[in-house]
Structure 1
Amino acid sequence: MRKVGIIGGIGPEATVDYYQSIISKFQEKIGSKEELPELFINSINMYKMFRLLMNGQTEEVIHYLTDAVQKLESVGADFVVMCGNTPHIVFDQIQQKVQVPMISIVEETCLKARELSLEKLGLIGTKFTMENDFFQKPFISHNIEIVVPNQTEQEYIHRKIVEELENGIVNKETKEGFLTIIAEMINQNGIQGIILGCTELPMLIKNEDLTIHPLNTAEIHINKIVDIIFEDQN
C-alpha cells in the first residue's frame, strides 16, 4: 500500500477533514472497516505562510513548504498532498525541488470541471487564491473562464476565512454573505459552477445551498488520493 504524506495545518480544520475522509472513503471503497491507509501528517504553521505571502516573500514560502514536503519524503511517503489551496501558489516550484510526486488540488479540480463540461466558473477562497493566477492557469488553458468577486468582496471573504473558518467557527450571517456574493456572480456573470477554493469552505457552504455546480476542491482532492491508494492496494 502506498503511503500518503499530508502537509497539514493549512488550515487545521481541513487537516482533520482530510484525515477522517481519506480513512472513511478508503474503507468504504475497499469494503472493510479492518483496513486502514498509511498516512503521515506534517502540520505546519498556516499563519507563518500567510505572513510570508502578505510580505511578498515568495522564496521563503517555497523554502518553508519544500522543507515540509522533504520531511514527509524522508519518513517514507510515496506521494504528498497539501491540504489547502493557497500553498498551491508555489506548487510547481516545490515539485521541482523534491523527488516525491505531489498531487495538485488545482489540477484535479480542473479535471473535474472538464468532466462536467463547464465553461464558466466562479472562484472563492483566500485573497491569495483569488488575486493570483495560479488557480486560473490550467482552466484558461482548457478554455474555461474563471470569475472572481470584486475587491471589496474578496477582502470580506478572506477575512471571514481566516478569522472564522480556519478556527472552526461557522457563522450563519457569514454563510448568507457568501451565498449572496455567489448569487451576484450567477446573475452578473452567468457562472455555471462555483469553485470552493478553500478547503474550509465546505464547513459553511453545502451542495444543497447552491443552484449551480459546486466544485468542492477538498472532496475532489481526497477522492483522487483514495483512488491512488485503492489502485495500488489491488
Structure 2
Amino acid sequence: MKTIGLIGGMSAESTTVYYQLINRLVRERLGGLHSAQIALWSLDFAPIAELQAKDDWAATGVILADAARRLEGAGAQAILICANTMHLNYAEVAGAVSAPVIHIADATAEALKAKGVTKALLLATRFTMEKPFYAERLAAQGIETVTPPKGDRDRLHAIIYDELVVGVITEASRAAVLQMIQDAKAAGCDGIVFGCTEIGLLLDVAAMPLPAVDTAVAHCEAAVDFALA
C-alpha cells in the first residue's frame, strides 16, 4: 500500500471527510482491520482565506508548495490538495515535489463521464465558479460546465464561507442551493458537480434530481485507486 499525503485544513470540516472516507474505502477493499497509510499536513485556513480574498494566489502557492514538500519528506507517495479552489495552485504544488499530485477535477471528470454527464452545474466558491482553471480542466475532458447567476453565486459563496467551513448546516441554505439546481435542470443541465469539498455536508448526492458527483468523494476514490494499485 502506498502512502497518501493530504494537504488539509481548507476547511477542517471537509478534511475530516477525506480522512474518514479514504480509510473506509481501504477497509472495504482490503477487508478486516485494514486502514490507509496517510500523512496529513493541516493548514490554518484563516490566513489562506485572507489571501484568497486579496486574490493573492502567489502567496497561497508558496504555502501549499511548502506543505507538499513536507508531506513528501514524511513519506507521501502521492499528494492531494483537499480543496477545489486551491487547485488554482496545482502547478506550484506539482512543481514542488516528485510525487504525483492527483488533481480533483480529473477525478471529477472521470466520475461525470461514468454517469453520462456532458453539461454540469458547477456549485462551488466564487473563485472556482468564476475563474477559468476548473471549467477548463473539465472542458479538456469533454465536460461543459455552467454556473448559477451572479446573485446565486454570491449566496453560495457566503453559504460556504460563513456556514459550511465552520460546520453550520441550515435548512434555508439547503433550500436555496436546491433551487439553484432546479433552475439549472430547467435550463438544460444534465448533471451536478459539488465543486466545493464542503457541499457534500449540505446536500446528499443520492437525493439530487440529476446525476451528481461529490468532488471530495471522487478525489478520495482516485487516491485509494493509486494507493492500492
Q: Pick the TM interval, shorter chain.
A: over 0.9
Letter in 1 for 2:17: D
Describe the superposition over 1:27-48 as per-residue Cα deviations: whole angstroms up to 9, x where unpaired: 111111x222211111002232
Between stretches 72-81 and 49-58, larger displacement belongs to: 49-58
Quote the residue 2:203 is aligned against: 205
Instruction: Name the Cα RMSD after superposition.
Output: 1.2
Tell whether 2:51 aligns with 1:52.
yes
Q: Structure 1 pair 144/36, CA: closer, same or farther in 2 (3 Å)?
A: closer
Are residues 151 and 69 of structure 1, via their aligned partners in 2, closer, same or farther at CA, if it must alter by over 3 Å?
same
Secondary structure of 1:42's aligned partner: strand
Q: Partners in 1 of 2:141 and 2:133 — Cα distance? A: 14
The CA distance in 2 between the partners of 1:56 and 1:170, in whole Å, is 27
Stretches (4+) displaced over 2 A: 114-117, 141-144
Q: Among residues 174, 194, 197, which one is paired with 1:196 in the alignment?
A: 194
**Aligned residue number for residue 19 of structure 1:** 19
CA drift of 1:101 comes to: 1.2
Q: Deviations over 1:103-122 (max 9, x none)?
A: 11111111222222321110
Supply the AA of the counterpart residue of 1:152. G
Q: Which moved more, 1:113-122 or 1:5-14?
A: 113-122
Letter in 1 for 2:204: K
Contact 2:65 2:93 in 1 (8 A): yes
How far residue 144 of structure 1 moved from its aligned partner, in angstroms, is 2.2
Whether the 8 Å CA contact 2:69–2:96 is kept in 1: the answer is no
Verify the 8 A CA contact 1:30 1:230 in the aligned structure 2.
no
Structure 1: stretches of 5+ with no match in the other structure:
none
CA distance in 1, matches of 2:80, 2:129: 21
Q: Deviations over 1:179-209 (max 9, x none)?
A: 0011111112x10001001111111110243
Partner of 2:133, secondary structure, is coil
Q: In structure 1, give the amino acid aligned to 2:195.
A: G
Distance in structure 2 (CA, Å) of the matches to 1:131 and 1:45:
24
Partner of 2:41: 42
Q: Is this contact kept in 1: 2:105–2:138, CA < 8 A?
A: no
Among 210, 216, 219, the residue aligned to 2:217: 219
Task: State TM-score, norm by structure 2.
Answer: 0.96
Q: Give 5+ residue unaligned stretches, structure 2.
A: none
Over 3 Å counting, the alpha-carbon distance change for 1:78 and 1:28 in structure 2 is same
Q: Shift of residue 6 of structure 1?
A: 0.5
